[in-house]
Structure 1
Amino acid sequence: MKTSYKIKALLISCLIIVSTLSLMQFYLVKATYQLKKEKYNDDLKIAAGKFYDVTHRKTKLSATIWANLQATIQLYIEGKVSRKDLLKAIMIKNDSVTRIANQYFSNISAKTPLLKNADYVERIDEVIIQVNGRNSILLARSGKPYIYFGHSAPKTDLLLLGGQSFSNSKWLVKIPPTNRLSLCKVFIFGSSYVNTSGWKRELFGQMASIFLLAVGLIVAVIILFYLMFSAIFRQKKIAEIQTDFANNITHELKTPLSSVSIIIKSLGKQEVQANPVLFNELLQSLSRQQIKIQQTVDSVLESATLTELKIEKTSINISTCLNEYAKSIFLDTHTLITDISPETFILRTHLPTLQNALNNLVENAVKYTPAGTTITLKAYSGDNYYIEVIDKGSGIAISQQTMIFNKFYRISEQNRHTVKGLGLGLYISKHAIEQLGGHLTLKSEPGSGSTFIIQLPIDENKGTSYRG
């Protein structure tokens, strides 16, 4: 099985594991939540029930309320209170006792943790008056109940504690306008609840540690999988780079070594030794191949020991040095254009290290731009001193720009490298500029060429640079 298929299979397996673990955690948290909610409701009922018993024993709330209600209803039957003002009259009559009971509940709930986020509610749901055997509904169950203790709340937030009913014995009342005595009886139906609108806050407080633990476990597993795949892809990339490097260096060394082998065999022939001109040409060719092999080996060694190099900066006229450097470069297939200003600029740096970086950048521009195009060497001063190597090649994709300075990295074209090289030039240049205290960056777009920018520091406070 190919490595890519193995990685895909591993990725799918990890996704299945994470999904299964997430579902298990979800159902466990949900089940725990339901159990805690049921227990919370049971505990709340017990706490509220104790309060109900104590409150009614201490304040005689229900007896007082219902007695006042009966008296007000009798006034209504006798025509002394209109139906419209009936509930208002009841509320006024019960105001003092409800205030006492509410205050008592506040004192109790402050000492009872479960009741801090709850509200005790007592209400009358239905009132029926029976006069001479005929029923008249003053308050219907389908209507708005009369809450004489607590506050109104949605039905979904009310937890029923119990129901109450009251009916008085029959009594005779005078019913206007005839003032004829009639037999009357009152039926009152009420209920008590706990308003659990604060249950979510209470329950979530209890569930916070469980929820965080469940989420933390899933996040930890995802992070572990992420780190694992990052390591796998990183190792895969390193393996590809190493394989690519081995192929490139084999190619870079095999060609000159083959030439050296042929030249050595040719030098051993008598007819070659007898021809001084041919003999010298072969020796020069052998020297060129030796230089090429030496340059390849030096590049690899330099990349391995780059961080160990120590440089000593000196003050130089960077403008003059760059102009002289440009004159020393001979390009067979390209034209070098210079744009260096100002004419005199003293900078503290290490010229051989800077020239080494420039050599790699110019060589890179020659390799990756069509023959006959121009390469520009531009320099100018600002907050720092800038040196730019500008080419008119095909440009570099944004996705590749962060990696081209990596060791042995080369931009591939469908796994085929059309340009020779080891992928060390830009890596060496970047580290060389960093040793000078500067930065090497890239500006490029596909189809618009590339600009490599060397940024060298100017320390005017210490007098290490001079502009003339």
Structure 2
Amino acid sequence: MKRKIMLLIGACIFTVIALATIQGYFIYNIYKLNEKEINTAIKKQIARLEDTDECENLNDTWILQSKKYVKEYVKGNATKQDYTKYIISNRDSLSRAMNAYMKRKAQPEDYPISYSVYINSVAIVNHGKPETLFNGKILVLANDTLKKNQILSSMGRSETQNTEDELTIVIKSNRYYNFEKLQQTIISKMAGLLIFSVLLMAFVVFLYYMSLKNLITQKRIADIKTDFVNNITHEFQTPLATMDLAIKTLQRKDAQMSPEHYKNTLAMIARQNERLQKLFRQVTEASLTPIAGKDIIQVTSEEIKDMIADFELSRPDITIEFTSQKEAFTIAMDRFHFNTILINLLDNAVKYGALKILVDLKLTTGNFILSVTDDGKGIPVQEQVSIFDKFYRVEKGNIHNNKGLGLGLFYIKQLVQTYKGTISVKSEEQKGSLFTITIPV
């Protein structure tokens, strides 16, 4: 189930990325389309501005100035180096005239553009001899401060032939424009689409998030219920098996049982019946997580021996030794929880080949310590980190040789942590295991 959820999360992420990519592609195309439309409109705007006598006169002014300079150069009265200075000296007056012209001709739907004209080259053919007066890029006029990212609007070429002087002048120029607020204008046009796209994507992500959250929540609730049922089922096994043996014992003829044996069997049934009643109360109260008992209880050595004796009844081939530092311990723990921890540790030892088990109880400064040592198969070092995980069972050759749900040690750890305690294990293969539980007094 966890793998399916991870795959579903991966699929959702992939879907969101794919949708965002497709949406981004369409938005980009719409952006480029708007950019193209604006540039087309600006070029029409420039064509309208250039198609007037006033604009032609402005252009004729700098062309005539260049031709005049060429004639002076041919006569030897000017140099190539001074041509740039000559154009720059007339730039400001031409720019002011162009700026005033564009303001007069501006229409409400026009874009606030900057417009500039550059000379690229001035070529001369003097008596059949070609010569270049200027080659580069020099600003002739501009209606506004020069901006970056200028866009080419059109290219111009002016050619003059004088047959008397056998002089031909060719001037090449480029016209540029720049719309500084192009991106802002496009984005403002697309604002509605962008907001809708972002909201739609956020809504899709939110739906995925809520769906996954609900699925994970439902899985967690289902897991909690399953764990609860499995834990309780696990706890039912020992008292039911013990009671089954006791009932079979009572079914014998009275002559085959001593009064002491009869009395002990009835006492054992009473203890297991009490334990089953507590288990059923847990089911009724739907106690999904162990709750630490607040009562201070006294656990005696005799009581623990009775628990062990009940356990041994269904496993006559197992030897269990019990040692205790004191005859009685006073601890803040639910008696049922204490019984559950001890029985589950014994049951786990038997499942994995133990024939001899040692149970020891002692008190140190501020701690109650329960240790269970067995001579079973032991636990490989690499497995010891995981043995307290839910449903985890030690495997050999990928085959489980022992029956069980893999919940015993997991449930013990839950109980120990409920009382703010710790549980540890030391084990070697074929040398048995030592489980130590430490709970603050």
- Shorter chain as denominator, the TM-score bin is 0.5 to 0.7
Amino acid at match of 1:40: I
Q: 1:204 to 1:74 in 2, by over 3 A?
A: same
Q: 1:219 to 1:390 in 2, by over 3 A?
A: farther
User: 1:412 and 2:413 equivalent?
Assistant: no
User: 1:259 and 2:242 equivalent?
Assistant: yes
Deviation at 1:227?
Answer: 3.7
In structure 2, what is the equivalent of residue 34 of structure 1?
A: 32
Preserved contact between residue 159 and residue 193 of structure 1 (Cα < 8 Å): yes
Q: 1:441 to 1:211 in 2, by over 3 A?
A: farther
Give runs of aligned pairs for residues 10-21 of structure 1, distance below 5 A: 18=16, 21=19
Q: 1:389 to 1:262 in 2, by over 3 A?
A: closer
Structure 2, unaligned runs of 5 or more:
306-320, 350-356, 374-378, 395-399, 428-434
Matched position secondary structure for 1:145: strand
Q: Distance in 1 between matches of 2:186 and 2:64?
A: 39
Preserved contact between residue 392 and residue 407 of structure 2 (Cα < 8 Å): no
Amino acid at match of 1:122: V
Deviation per CA, 1:20-78: give whole Å up to 9, x if none.
Answer: 54454244224323321211211222344455568x73795323322322232233222
Preserved contact between residue 167 and residue 185 of structure 1 (Cα < 8 Å): yes
Q: What is the Cα-based RMSD across aligned positions, in Å?
A: 5.8
In structure 1, what is the equivalent of residue 54 of structure 2?
A: 57
Deviation at 1:211?
Answer: 4.4
User: 1:186 and 2:169 equivalent?
Assistant: yes
Equivalent position to 1:98, from 95, 98, 122:
95
How many equivalent pairs are there?
389
Equivalent position to 1:120, from 94, 106, 115:
115
Matched position secondary structure for 1:81: coil
Q: 1:52 to 1:134 in 2, by over 3 A?
A: same
Give me the TM-score of the superposition, normalised by structure 1. 0.59
Q: Distance in 1 between matches of 2:28 and 2:3?
A: 37
Q: 1:443 to 1:193 in 2, by over 3 A?
A: farther
Deviation per CA, 1:425-465: give whole Å up to 9, x if none.
Answer: 847975xx8xxxxxx69899999x999999xxxxxxxxxxx
Preserved contact between residue 119 and residue 139 of structure 2 (Cα < 8 Å): yes
Preserved contact between residue 132 and residue 183 of structure 1 (Cα < 8 Å): yes
Q: 1:215 to 1:268 in 2, by over 3 A?
A: same
Preserved contact between residue 336 and residue 377 of structure 1 (Cα < 8 Å): no
Give runs of aligned pairs for residues 68-467 of structure 1, distance below 5 A: 68-102=65-99, 114-115=111-112, 118-140=113-135, 144-150=136-142, 157-168=149-160, 170=162, 182-195=165-178, 199-207=182-190, 209-211=192-194, 213-214=196-197, 216-264=199-247, 266-267=249-250, 270-271=253-254, 275-300=258-283, 304=287, 355-356=333-334, 363=341, 367=345, 410=390, 412-413=392-393, 417-418=405-406, 420=408, 423=411, 426=414
Q: Distance in 2 between matches of 1:326 and 1:80?
A: 127
Q: Distance in 2 between matches of 1:334 and 1:202?
A: 88
Stretch moving more, 197-206 or 421-430:
421-430
- The percent of aligned pairs where both chains have the same amino acid is 19
Deviation at 1:19?
Answer: 6.2
Preserved contact between residue 423 and residue 437 of structure 2 (Cα < 8 Å): yes
Deviation at 1:129?
Answer: 2.3
Matched position secondary structure for 2:151: strand
Deviation per CA, 1:380-431: give whole Å up to 9, x if none.
Answer: xxxxxxx99999999999x99xxx9xxxx9463379545637849847975x
Preserved contact between residue 122 and residue 191 of structure 1 (Cα < 8 Å): yes
